[in-house]
């Protein structure tokens, strides 16, 4: 059974850093792109970052580029999100998601974690 379990959330002051983790199990982690998607309280979904199977390629929207870093440890089947210079607008539930690439350039997110809450406030 595929499982994605996020951890590392909590309350952090503006300008500080936080690192999220996602422990994967039930599949060959190194075969899949992985992503982070967030959801601000009572708001919609926002894609945050994607990482390739080897970790050599990473992608971000402008809203977090330069502040967030996605990484992975395939030996540990773990995904990470290092968040620096946090702002109040980064307050959200952060989901780890597995990306299934089924054809050239085509993909979907087929498994999601339960999410971890990050609150940025003084």
Partner 1 sequence: DIQMTQSPSVLSASVGDRVTLSCKASQNINKNLDWYQQKLGEAPKLLIYFTNNLQTGIPSRFSGSGSGTDYTLTISSLQPEDVATYYCYQYNSGNTFGAGTKLELK
Residues in touch with partner 1 (CB under 8 A): 37, 44-47, 50, 59, 61, 95, 102, 105-110, 112-115
CB of 68 to partner 1, least distance (A): 14
- Which residues fall within 8 angstroms of residue 72, CB to CB, at 6 or more apart? 29, 34, 51, 55, 78, 79, 80
Asked whether the CA dihedral 60, 22, 118, 45 is positive or negative, the reply is positive
CB of 76 to partner 1, least distance (A): 22
Nearer to partner 1, 14 or 89 (CB): 89
Nearer to partner 1, 88 or 114 (CB): 114
CB neighbours (10 Å) of residue 17? 11
């Amino acid at each position: 059974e595929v499982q994605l379990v996020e951890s590392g959330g909590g309350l952090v002051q503006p300008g500080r850093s936080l690192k999220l983790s996602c422990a994967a199990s039930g599949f060959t982690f190194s075969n899949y792109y992985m992503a982070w998607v967030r959801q601000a309280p009572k708001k919609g979904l926002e894609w945050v970052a994607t990482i390739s199977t080897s970790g050599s390629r990473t992608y971000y929207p402008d809203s977090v580029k330069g502040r967030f870093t996605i990484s992975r440890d395939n030996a540990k089947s773990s995904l990470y999100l290092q968040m620096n210079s946090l702002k109040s607008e980064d307050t959200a539930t952060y989901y780890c998601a597995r990306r299934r690439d089924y054809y050239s350039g085509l993909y979907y997110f087929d498994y999601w974690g339960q999410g971890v809450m990050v609150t940025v406030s003084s």
